[in-house]
Structure 1
Amino acid sequence: MAAEPSPGGRGTGPGGAGGDGPCLLGVDVGTSSTKGVLTDPVGRIHATATRPHRVSRPRPGWVEHDPETTWWDEFVAVVRELLAVAPGPVAGVAVSGIGPCLLPATAAGRPLRAAILYGVDTRATAEITELTDRLGADRIVARSGNRLTSQAVGPKLLWVRRHEPQVWADTRRFFMASNLLVHRLTGEYVLDHHSASQCDPLYDLREQRWIPELAEEVAPGLELPRLLWPTETAGRVTPAAAEATGLPVGTPVTAGTIDAWAESVSVGATRPGDLMLMYGTTMFLSRVVERPTPHPALWSTVGVLPGSFCLAGGMATSGAVVEWLRELTGGTPYERLTAEAEPLPPGADGLVVLPYFAGERTPLFDDRARGAVVGLTLGHGRGHLYRAVLEGTAYAVRHHLDTMAEQLPPPERMIAVGGGARALWTRIVSDVTGRPQLVPRHTIGASYGDAFLAGLAAGLTRIGQDWTEFVDEVRPQPSTAAAYDRSYQVFRELYPATRALVRRLGQPAG
């Protein structure tokens, strides 16, 4: 797969034509693909490259990635593809990835099993309950800012310790996608503060440091990585890494971070009052706040920039349900589905979808939740289902915004990002939520934010600088408000009304 120049020719991003000066390289390992981008120091895009991949689901509730083939091999392939078309030397590198994940490894950094992914992997349910009872829910929230859920790393560590004792016997370090790549590139064992703040209950949110006594109780003998901010340089490319990737020896590499927060950097959503809404395999929201703002139904974390904090939420599915429907209908192109759904009225002629096809993370924290399609008649077609799926994710976004509103005033800016930020979907979300969305010129995603962070390591960008150029503002249509308010109320009542029935369906027969 050849690297793709940016639209309009290589080097034609914001600001005009590129040149042969220094380049910045950003690579992101996402749930369903690895993406890389090559830019100049003012954000002009030289080229992009992508490698699609899938998660592994070896058992119900398990979601994994192979760290060698999915993380490292694809990273190397994307880097070499981009270097082949680079108009100048690479001056800095930054990586991001899905998280929080758990990859147990030896003291030398050798992976010991497949990586256990973020909150979509629900294997550690018993460990969540055990740690909450043992450590105390109030104590956990007071220190880490969050209750323990499937998103937390601590219960996953305990799961490995209990269920895979041979793996645990050799485990000395743990990695996520971003810091494994940093380790391979530089030899440094580090983790950024933001990623660490999702390692509940091991990180103190207010003091912004590890909690050694809790780490020892949950995972005795585990070496905790050195903490850095995503804006800081972790190390430089070693000769071995240079040989593997083609990157110049000594190229500075940042500490990296989790993909959604790198994506917030890509669109400048780093100021208090900003809310980033990421359209992807899963839907993600991150609101920048001035101080820790814990909420029992959301995630409270530190931000990308030193001294910043976030209140965040994430759905277990969104684009994944869209893709499921597309494949179910014979691989229908998105353009065809959109053409069929767009003329339909708000509310899809009485159809409501619960998008909980893989359980739900925030604000339900229910890994046993399931999807539902309610209101079907013989008059509904493929376009109705597609529109209802998009509307179902929009209702879930509104649920998140309503939950955030219990603690915070409305966001000052809501910025749409991600590959799924297409016209129909963003318009439905604005109509359902009643909130306008800014759409940036480049919705490449986390890798573009990584390139900006790479510039910090190289001294070619600075904190406070912003590459973002907005090309559209999606404003809600008042004429749709009444229909969507009615359907939203049905959506909110549908989950509690069917929860017990869904759980009965999930019980084994006999």
Structure 2
Amino acid sequence: MSGQELVLGVDIGLTGMKVVAFNLRGEPVHEARETSPQEIPHPHWVERDGREYWALFSRMMRAVTTKIDNAGDTAISLALSAHGDGGWLVDEEGDAVRPGILSLDSRAIDEAAALNASSFDDLLRETGQGVGPASPGVILRWLKDNEPENYAKARWFIYAKDFLRIKLTDSVGTDLTEASTAFTDVNTQEYTDEAFRLYGVEEYKDRVPPINDATEVIGTVTKLAHIATGLPEGLPVVAGLHDVDAGAIGAGAVRPGQLAVMAGTWSINEVISDKPKLGKEWFCRAFVEKGTWMNMSISPASSANLEWFATTLCQADLDGRTRAGMDPYGFIDEEIAQTSDDDDIVTFLPFLYGNPMNIDGQATFAGLRAWHKRGHLLRAVYEGIAFNHRIHCDPLIEAFGVTDIFVVGGVTRSSIWPQMFADAMGKPIRIPVKAEGGALGTAMVAAVGAGKFANLAEAYEAMGSETQVIEPTPEGTARMQHRFERFMEQIEAQKSWWESAKH
């Protein structure tokens, strides 16, 4: 069907980016994808070049606009979502002063540990959260101490999606979900001088972007952006939001008490609330609409571990299946299915990029024996990622009276993994039928911004997804409980090894 009005939801991840054009029933009509290359110039550093970022984004947008034009459809608005935390220094013209620092970056792990040790209670009371190595305030402090020339040169400290916003519209700003990652008062959801003082970056309080509502039209596509991307000049651009909030909306977690579990590069686990509730185990940040909060417990320890395993140890399988037109990751379920639930346990700690403890630990396989095959290792990776999510989810379930658990991400494309998640949680999980959760949630924001719906609840009613329920089984729950206990024992056993490795 041609001649449809479409809203564009852009979802920028740590390893890939996509744009999906949805109609106002939430049906994906056109899409395009690109990679999101990372640079690791030093151990612990994970960065992205701004010029390459914009070039790849522009190529992706040109691909989708060509499809829209050829079909005779019309784009009516666009919204952006992207991975959060980390940060970008940009100059007055909106150009990057240095490569953007991504949320997988851990160069500031010692600074984060020192800040938590000295000021955790103050940070929690003021901003609703402690800090991790890639927390924006920690990154900004690291830049001040280690790159003073860049720190002094920059006009703005912004986030990944807001770098693209500048390029598209020439407007500088962010939204509540991003602003609340470091520098806002947890109660008022406005910037607070005390947060800048706690991070030791008081001079930057005038260099953080103005805050817009996520559904607010903040500008239109400029002529230069039209030339680069093919997007129509004058197309309304909506402020957008942090991708974890977009993913929750797209998954169906739109009301207090609903838990969204996102198994992507990061382990994202978050519950909406209608009042701030502070806890050491989670970040209390602003949700899309002022007066609502998103309580999230996160770590860089989810499906990126599986991607590393596959690309490092199984590249021939990936290439062969790709050439055959098959799902390149399909062999994983097949090999795990050849193992038995009763086989000797192999335990995997999925800490290639970080962990929930905010200590400098490493990934670990434990319990390997000569008769184990690759399928046993892959099963351990699946289970380890599920267990890491459980570490985050248990405190949220207890504190917020969770009624529904929605799971999205790579786990949902497996025929085996969702059951492992349900058994590991010991609770039913809901998997949205529509796969493009982050892009869909962002498109709903774009639709509200375009005036097609009064609010996000109305947008979800029209565009949202049905869900498939996966029930835990008694035998699976008992088995996974035993393995979870072994998983936690292995973490404790490794802590002294991790500490000794520093010396």
TM superposition score normalised by structure 1: 0.90
CA distance in 1, matches of 2:94, 2:377: 46
- 1:79-478 matches, within 5 Å, as 79-86=61-68, 87-118=72-103, 120-128=104-112, 131=115, 136-199=119-182, 202-212=183-193, 214-215=195-196, 217-221=200-204, 222-331=206-315, 332=317, 333-346=328-341, 349-360=344-355, 362=356, 364-366=357-359, 368-409=360-401, 411-422=402-413, 423-463=415-455, 464-465=457-458, 466=460, 467-478=463-474
SS in 1 for 2:67: coil
Aligned-partner residue type, residue 212 of structure 1: D
Cα deviation, 1:8-29, whole Å, max 9, x if unaligned, reads xxxxxxxxxx441321111121
Measured after TM superposition, the shift of residue 348 of structure 1 is 5.2
**Do 1:194 and 1:229's aligned partners in 2 also have CA atoms closer than 8 Å?**
no
Measured after TM superposition, the shift of residue 93 of structure 1 is 0.5
2:320 aligns with none
**Do 1:235 and 1:252's aligned partners in 2 also have CA atoms closer than 8 Å?**
yes
CA distance in 1, matches of 2:312, 2:63: 33
Report which of the two has the higher share of helix: 2
- 2:11 paired residue among 28, 39, 42: 28
2:497 aligns with 501
Seen in structure 2, the aligned counterparts of structure 1 residues 271 and 481 have a Cα distance that, compared at 3 Å, is same
SS in 2 for 1:209: coil
**Do 2:123 and 2:195's aligned partners in 1 also have CA atoms closer than 8 Å?**
no
2:324 aligns with none
SS in 2 for 1:90: strand
* Runs (5+) with no aligned partner, structure 1: 1-17
CA distance in 2, matches of 1:408, 1:42: 31
Seen in structure 2, the aligned counterparts of structure 1 residues 129 and 286 have a Cα distance that, compared at 3 Å, is closer
* Runs (5+) with no aligned partner, structure 2: 318-327
Seen in structure 2, the aligned counterparts of structure 1 residues 480 and 419 have a Cα distance that, compared at 3 Å, is closer
Measured after TM superposition, the shift of residue 163 of structure 1 is 0.8
**Do 1:440 and 1:471's aligned partners in 2 also have CA atoms closer than 8 Å?**
yes
Seen in structure 2, the aligned counterparts of structure 1 residues 82 and 484 have a Cα distance that, compared at 3 Å, is same
TM superposition score normalised by structure 2: 0.91
248-257 or 322-331, larger mean C-alpha shift: 322-331
Cα deviation, 1:441-460, whole Å, max 9, x if unaligned, reads 21123222222111112112
Measured after TM superposition, the shift of residue 32 of structure 1 is 0.3
Aligned pairs, how many? 481
Measured after TM superposition, the shift of residue 68 of structure 1 is 1.9
Seen in structure 2, the aligned counterparts of structure 1 residues 229 and 483 have a Cα distance that, compared at 3 Å, is same
Identical aligned residues as a percent: 27
SS in 2 for 1:281: coil
1:77 aligns with 59
CA distance in 2, matches of 1:81, 1:105: 27
CA distance in 2, matches of 1:100, 1:106: 19
Cα deviation, 1:230-280, whole Å, max 9, x if unaligned, reads 122212222222222222222211111111111112123111111111122
Measured after TM superposition, the shift of residue 396 of structure 1 is 1.3
224-233 or 91-100, larger mean C-alpha shift: 224-233
Aligned-partner residue type, residue 98 of structure 2: R
CA distance in 1, matches of 2:488, 2:45: 28
CA distance in 2, matches of 1:250, 1:148: 39
SS in 1 for 2:475: helix
Aligned-partner residue type, residue 110 of structure 1: D
1:13 aligns with none
SS in 2 for 1:311: strand
CA distance in 2, matches of 1:348, 1:64: 41
CA distance in 1, matches of 2:333, 2:251: 26
Measured after TM superposition, the shift of residue 131 of structure 1 is 4.7
CA distance in 2, matches of 1:308, 1:335: 40
Aligned-partner residue type, residue 375 of structure 2: G
